[in-house]
A and B are shown apart, each in its own frame.
Chain A
Amino acid sequence: MHVVIVGNGVAGTEAALAIRRRLDPSRARITLISEEHPYFFSRTALMYAYMERMQRRDLEPYEREMYRRQKIELLHNRVVDIDADAHAITLDAGTTLSYDRLLLAVGARPRMVPFEGLDEVKDGLVNFVSMQDLDHCERLTWSTTEAVVLGGGLIGVELAESFIHHGLKVSFVVREPYFWPAALAAEEGELIGAEIRRHGIELIIDRELKGIESDEAGRVSGVRLSDGRHLPAQMLGVAIGVVPNVDWLREVKTVPVLGRGIRVDRSFRTSLPDVFAAGDCAEIGGEDETPLLETIWYSAKLQGQRAASAILGDEVNYAPPIFYNSSKFFGIEYTTVGQCVGVPSGTRSLYRKHPTRPITQRILFDEARVLGFSMLGSRWDHTLLQQWIAERRPLSYVREHLHRAQFDVEFGRVDLTKFQEEERTL
């Protein structure tokens, strides 16, 4: 069997390794194709490379030798055509490659909206999604003194933090009334906002980007905000989310059914025979379901492994585990588990705040059980929090056992008895 995987990000690479785990090279030939970078690298660490905390080679989770030992063939090329009837793909180089199973794990790219003046911009727009973004950032930093970051989410903070590292004057424009309402409650959002400001970033809330200005060469020179304010900037980070990388699929010979992403069922099958999709590019769900589009690292990794099972013929009925995510905003660590935003009204919230340090815990619950956790400033074992949600534990139980889920460093355990508490109904 020849399995061809398009995209060597975490979903594609995990799938390749999962297939190799079950089938040795005599039973499965595996080809991993990427136009971005010949080797799997850690997208999540692009900011650390930009901040000079890591070298490029450190970004690669596997030794290059590993692919040779595992007999996973790597192609640094771009797929331009898919012919599902002939079970073949065409590469940019002109060669055709036939496959028995094809996995599309082509990821996502930064979302963009048609801002005024965008058409004239040829240079200066940056992001942290691909290896090329890193090259781009590094090339531009030399000639930059002011930068603007747009979009209050994770990539936005990463960009802002990196720019500060390079001594740039940074303005961070967020459309919402506080930082990241899509995941945080107002108190936590304001706490992170204060942390962002403490690092010398001007956090501008409640404002939108109106237009982008560029110089004669097409390089970004500044932005205009919705309140008429003008901010000079030689680099502009537009981090307003990502969209599945599917546009190229509209032009191939056999087009799979597309929604926002590549439509797949719960076993990662697309509408084309023997073609699967997983990771950021996959939109999962049946005909009558709300499609599920998960664009986080953890989901992509799990989906890659599950898609590999499906490719090998197992019954797969993917259902995401209880949601969890994590991040770090400058020095503040963040863990969230379960449902914390968009909860039904009547849900109760317990907010715990350390009297002096930026450490908070929020537990969402109803009469019967806890629903979600949003923890800032200290480390938590999310698996235990997940377990309590799955076991439908009531708040009283969770409060009593909360210390068991602490994951602080030795000698550094936070004293949970000191916290100020506030309970309210949402």
Chain B
Amino acid sequence: MRQKGSLGWLKHDLTHRGPTAWLLTLGLFAFYFILYYGGRTLAGVAIPDLFTPIARALHLPSKWTFYGLLYTLAIAIGGAYVIYKYRHNRYQVIRTSVVIFVQATLAFSVPWILTIFEQPEYYFSYLWPLKMEYFYPSTILAMPLPFILFSLLGSLIMVPLLGIFFGKRWYCSWVCGCGGLANTAGEPFRHLSNKSSKAWAFEKWSIHITLFLSLVTTAFVIASWGVGENYPAFSEQAASLRSLYGFVVATLLSGIIGVALYPVGGTRVWCRYFCPMAAILGLVQKFGRYRIRVKDNMCISCGMCSTYCEMGIDVRAYAQRNQDFVRASCVGCGICAEVCPRGVLRLENRWRRDPQELSMDALLNETYRG
């Protein structure tokens, strides 16, 4: 239903896949296209480089720093809105503050300051396989030892360990910049995620295929570094695989598709369907402590939880069947618990084995707990 007043239709339109939403998506596509390809010539057409002059005018080293600044501003402004909106909920206030802090420091200022001190631009908030380069030998060898240690131990030990204790949320909704943008500037679009079981089935395939590709690419690149001198053809293959992965996953899926689809596809398209880091954390999460607890027999099936789940999890299906659960895709943003008008849900870190990933048909068999 539209709002009253002359601008009423606009509000409705933007957050419900109307023409305004599509225009915004188109605008974001154009933004990313010029950001990535500005200054280059594609198929004989010169793409104007709009952002380098702006960056120069602002005395920023490159258009990428300018993009980082925009990104950080989006998270800070969106984050302020989210903190205000959920000011009565301390989980949301603390989580969002951490997200803003991490973005402003680890993902923006620290790498910039590092370059001032003539160190490599290093992002402590990004890890392999989200940041594939951090496992590529050529990149690793260019780094000082502490960064190498952080890259290796961070990905191989810290990520799974924290995942076991706190679920995937410690990264996906507290640290990661992709999740950070989704949970702040993306807040008005979180309800647009696809809740169908078809989307769930698709996600299971797509995310694990991306994970597989990232593993294969990493393995090829490392192998070609080790034996490349003897097998130039293999080296060439590895290099083209590396650039193909970089283009399809890093540029297309995480940047362009991931953000530009916010107004029409919801905020976590990248995180849900493609992010290899989310795939690993999701597998870890299944064996860890994190879960969503459901208060028995209290759900009124209103569906606010499912509507506002940015990962498209049908939370209501579990809640109305009194089923504690954890889904691999759950990023623990905590909005389902926040919007529940009956306080049925709670995020918990507790060792207790519950059935997980129940199919919708299995859920139909769970019933009243007397």
Question: A305 to B302, Cβ gap below 8 A?
Answer: no
Question: A53 to B304, Cβ gap below 8 A?
Answer: yes
User: Taking CB as reference atom, which chain B residue is nearest A44?
Assistant: B300
Question: A63 to B91, Cβ gap below 8 A?
Answer: no
Segment at the A interface, from B136-144, B146-154, B220-228, B359-367 = B359-367
Q: How far is the CA of A42 from the CA of B317 in the complex (A)?
A: 13
Answer whether residue B303 sits at the interface, using C-beta atoms and an 8 A cutoff.
yes
Answer whether residue A343 sits at the interface, using C-beta atoms and an 8 A cutoff.
no
Q: Other CB < 8 Å A-B pairs besides A42-B303, A166-B4, 18 of them?
A: A10-B301, A21-B364, A21-B365, A45-B303, A45-B304, A48-B307, A61-B316, A65-B197, A141-B1, A298-B298, A321-B370, A335-B343, A379-B346, A382-B298, A409-B91, A409-B338, A410-B334, A410-B348
Question: A58 to B306, Cβ gap below 8 A?
Answer: yes
Answer whether residue A59 sits at the interface, using C-beta atoms and an 8 A cutoff.
yes
Q: How far is the CA of A141 from the CA of B5 in the complex (A)?
A: 12
Per-position binary interface string of chain B over residues 1-30, scored 1 when its CB falls under 8 Å from any chain A CB and 0 otherwise: 101100000001000100000000000000
Per-position binary interface string of chain A over residues 28-69, scored 1 when its CB falls under 8 Å from any chain B CB and 0 otherwise: 000000000000001011001010111100111111011001
Q: How far is the CA of A151 from the CA of B88 in the complex (A)?
A: 29
Q: With contacts A58-B306, A305-B368 known, is A66 near B360, CB below 8 A?
A: yes
> Can you list 13 residue pairs at the A/B interface with Cβ under 8 Å?
A18-B367, A20-B364, A52-B1, A52-B12, A58-B306, A61-B316, A63-B197, A298-B300, A326-B343, A335-B343, A379-B343, A409-B338, A410-B90
Q: Tell me if B's interface is mostly helix, strand, loop or mixed.
A: loop
Q: How far is the CB of B315 from chain A (nearest CB, A)?
A: 11
CB neighbours (8 Å) of B94 from chain A are 411
Question: B303 to A411, Cβ gap below 8 A?
Answer: no
Answer whether residue A381 sits at the interface, using C-beta atoms and an 8 A cutoff.
yes
Per-position binary interface string of chain B over residues 72-95, scored 1 when its CB falls under 8 Å from any chain A CB and 0 otherwise: 000000000000000011110010
Question: B295 to A383, Cβ gap below 8 A?
Answer: yes
Q: Tell me if A's interface is mostly helix, strand, loop or mixed.
A: mixed
Q: With contacts A21-B365, A66-B360, A302-B368 known, is A407 near B295, CB below 8 A?
A: yes
Q: Which 4 residue pairs of A and B lie closest in terms of their CB atoms, listed nearest first?
A: A379-B343, A45-B302, A412-B90, A44-B300
Question: B347 to A409, Cβ gap below 8 A?
Answer: yes
User: Taking CB as reference atom, which chain B residue is nearest A166?
Assistant: B4
Highest count of chain A CB atoms <10 Å: which of B297, B300, B306, B360: B300
CB neighbours (8 Å) of B347 from chain A are 409-410
CB neighbours (8 Å) of A45 from chain B are 300-304
Question: A409 to B89, Cβ gap below 8 A?
Answer: yes
Question: B307 to A53, Cβ gap below 8 A?
Answer: yes
CB neighbours (8 Å) of B300 from chain A are 42, 44-45, 297-298, 326
Tell which of A141, A321, A327, A412 touches B91, judged by Cβ atoms closer than 8 Å.
Answer: A412
Q: How far is the CA of A326 from the CA of B1 in the complex (A)?
A: 28
Q: With contacts A167-B4, A305-B367 known, is A333 near B343, CB below 8 A?
A: yes
Tell which of B4, B298, B346 touches A409, judged by Cβ atoms closer than 8 Å.
Answer: B346
Answer whether residue A301 sits at the interface, using C-beta atoms and an 8 A cutoff.
yes
Highest count of chain A CB atoms <10 Å: which of B196, B301, B334, B342: B301
User: Taking CB as reference atom, which chain B residue is nearest A304?
Assistant: B368
Q: With contacts A63-B196, A142-B4, A382-B298 known, is A407 near B343, CB below 8 A?
A: yes
Answer whether residue A404 sits at the interface, using C-beta atoms and an 8 A cutoff.
no
Q: With contacts A48-B304, A66-B360, A302-B368 known, is A383 near B89, CB below 8 A?
A: no
Answer whether residue B49 sits at the interface, using C-beta atoms and an 8 A cutoff.
no
CB neighbours (8 Å) of B370 from chain A are 321
Per-position binary interface string of chain B over residues 329-344, scored 1 when its CB falls under 8 Å from any chain A CB and 0 otherwise: 0000010011001110
User: Taking CB as reference atom, which chain B residue is nearest A40?
Assistant: B301
CB neighbours (8 Å) of A298 from chain B are 297-298, 300
Q: How many residues of B contact A (CB 8 A)?
A: 42
CB neighbours (8 Å) of A380 from chain B are 343
Q: With contacts A52-B1, A61-B301 known, is A331 near B368, CB below 8 A?
A: no
User: Taking CB as reference atom, which chain A residue is nearest B308?
Assistant: A53
Q: How far is the CB of A193 from chain B (nearest CB, A)?
A: 20
Which residues, 362 to 412 on A, are CB-close (under 8 Å) to B? 379-383, 407, 409-412
Question: B91 to A61, Cβ gap below 8 A?
Answer: no
User: Taking CB as reference atom, which chain A residue is nearest B86?
Assistant: A409
Chain B contact residues, CB within 8 Å of chain A = 1, 3-4, 12, 16, 88-91, 94, 196-197, 295-298, 300-304, 306-307, 316-317, 320, 334, 337-338, 341-343, 346-348, 360-361, 364-365, 367-368, 370
CB neighbours (8 Å) of A62 from chain B are 360
Q: How far is the CB of A165 from chain B (nearest CB, A)?
A: 10
Tell which of A55, A326, A409 touches B90, judged by Cβ atoms closer than 8 Å.
Answer: A409
Question: B196 to A44, Cβ gap below 8 A?
Answer: no
Q: How far is the CB of B6 from chain A (nearest CB, A)?
A: 13
Which residues, 54 to 94 on A, are CB-close (under 8 Å) to B? 54-55, 58-63, 65-66, 69-70
Question: A412 to B342, Cβ gap below 8 A?
Answer: no
Q: How far is the CA of A69 from the CA of B197 in the complex (A)?
A: 13
User: Taking CB as reference atom, which chain B residue is nearest A54?
Assistant: B307
Question: A331 to B342, Cβ gap below 8 A?
Answer: no
CB neighbours (8 Å) of B367 from chain A are 18, 21, 305
Q: How far is the CA of A48 from the CA of B304 in the complex (A)?
A: 8
User: Taking CB as reference atom, which chain A residue is nearest B365?
Assistant: A21
Q: How far is the CB of A366 from chain B (nearest CB, A)?
A: 26
Q: How far is the CA of A52 from the CA of B188 in the complex (A)?
A: 13
CB neighbours (8 Å) of A407 from chain B are 295, 343, 346
Question: A42 to B301, Cβ gap below 8 A?
Answer: yes
Q: How far is the CB of A228 from chain B (nearest CB, A)?
A: 32
Answer whether residue A255 sits at the interface, using C-beta atoms and an 8 A cutoff.
no
CB neighbours (8 Å) of A250 from chain B are none
Answer whether residue A17 sits at the interface, using C-beta atoms and an 8 A cutoff.
yes
Tell which of A10, A61, A383, A409 touches B337, judged by Cβ atoms closer than 8 Å.
Answer: A409
User: Taking CB as reference atom, which chain A residue is nearest B197?
Assistant: A63
Q: How far is the CA of A382 from the CA of B96 in the complex (A)?
A: 30
Question: A328 to B341, Cβ gap below 8 A?
Answer: yes
Q: With contacts A42-B302, A63-B360, A412-B89 known, is A58 near B307, CB below 8 A?
A: yes
CB neighbours (8 Å) of B302 from chain A are 42, 44-45, 48
Answer whether residue A138 sits at the interface, using C-beta atoms and an 8 A cutoff.
yes
CB neighbours (8 Å) of A138 from chain B are 1
Tell which of A44, A58, A382, A410 touches B295, judged by Cβ atoms closer than 8 Å.
Answer: A382
CB neighbours (8 Å) of A326 from chain B are 298, 300, 342-343
User: Taking CB as reference atom, which chain A residue is nearest B337?
Assistant: A409
Q: How far is the CA of A166 from the CA of B4 in the complex (A)?
A: 8
CB neighbours (8 Å) of A61 from chain B are 301, 303, 316-317, 320
CB neighbours (8 Å) of A305 from chain B are 367-368
